[in-house]
């Protein structure tokens, strides 16, 4: 069941059916893709000591070849475990200086309950895209921009931005 969800197309279709994403999609600024395990950029970011992929290295690799999607914000999805030097793992990471790239890992979001898995994915994808639109972390525990350090945090928040983040997002979109 979860296997079928590995298909990026399925996840991305669900993603853009969400009302919070429609706002983003309408400006045609986002391109999304799935990074296959055989992708050399993923392999290059593998850290043998920690036996996981370094999200910061990965995002640098992903930022270098954006010629096909100039001016677009790119959201990559991967199913490998990713980490940052200061953290055991991260659910996702974004970088908006240089290339505008974000990555979300489904590795730690997986659970047999398909609906729960999808909602976790949507929250983290929305969170990383929010960063690409210059949103910072939000103190509102229900807001997608609240920082999630564990699954409990993710499950607590909603698949939407709070009122003030949404306002900032709209301003950011209008500035572009």
- Binding positions for Zn ion, rule: CB under 5 A: 138, 140, 143, 145, 162, 165
Dihedrals φ, ψ of 87, to 5°? -135, 145
**CB-wise, 15 or 143, nearer to Zn ion?**
143
**CB-wise, 82 or 162, nearer to Zn ion?**
162
Q: How far is the CB of 147 from Zn ion (least distance, A)?
A: 5
Biggest alpha carbon–alpha carbon distance for the chain: 44
Q: How far is the CB of 83 from Zn ion (least distance, A)?
A: 15
Cα four-point dihedral sign 61, 79, 56, 139: positive
| Residue 106: CB atoms within 10 Å | 24
The C-alpha atoms of residue 85 and residue 76 are separated, in whole angstroms, by 20
DSSP H helical segments within the chain, as ranges? 2-5, 8-17, 19-25, 40-44, 55-64, 114-132, 151-156, 163-175
Residue whose tokens read 């909602």: 119
Q: How far is the CB of 162 from Zn ion (least distance, A)?
A: 3
Catalytic residues: 128
**CB-wise, 82 or 143, nearer to Zn ion?**
143
Closest CA to 8 of 82, 104, 81: 104
Residue 5 is encoded by which pair of tokens?
A: 């969800």
Q: How far is the CB of 87 from Zn ion (least distance, A)?
A: 12
**CB-wise, 40 or 86, nearer to Zn ion?**
86
């Amino acid at each position: 069941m979860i296997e079928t969800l590995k298909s990026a197309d399925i996840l991305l279709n669900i993603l853009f059916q969400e009302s919070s994403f429609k706002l983003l999609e309408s400006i045609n600024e986002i391109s999304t893709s799935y990074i296959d395990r055989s992708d050399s950029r993923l392999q290059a970011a593998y850290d043998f000591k920690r036996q996981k992929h370094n999200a910061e290295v990965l995002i640098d690799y992903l930022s270098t070849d954006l010629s096909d999607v100039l001016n677009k914000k790119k959201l990559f999805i991967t199913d490998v475990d990713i980490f940052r030097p200061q953290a055991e793992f991260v659910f996702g990471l974004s970088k908006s200086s240089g290339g505008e790239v974000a990555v979300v890992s489904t590795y730690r979001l997986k659970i047999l309950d398909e609906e729960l898995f999808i909602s976790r994915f949507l929250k983290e994808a929305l969170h990383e895209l929010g960063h690409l639109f210059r949103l910072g972390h939000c103190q509102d525990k229900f807001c997608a921009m609240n920082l999630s350090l564990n699954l409990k945090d993710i499950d607590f928040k909603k698949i939407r931005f709070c009122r003030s983040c949404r306002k900032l997002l709209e301003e950011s979109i209008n500035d572009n």
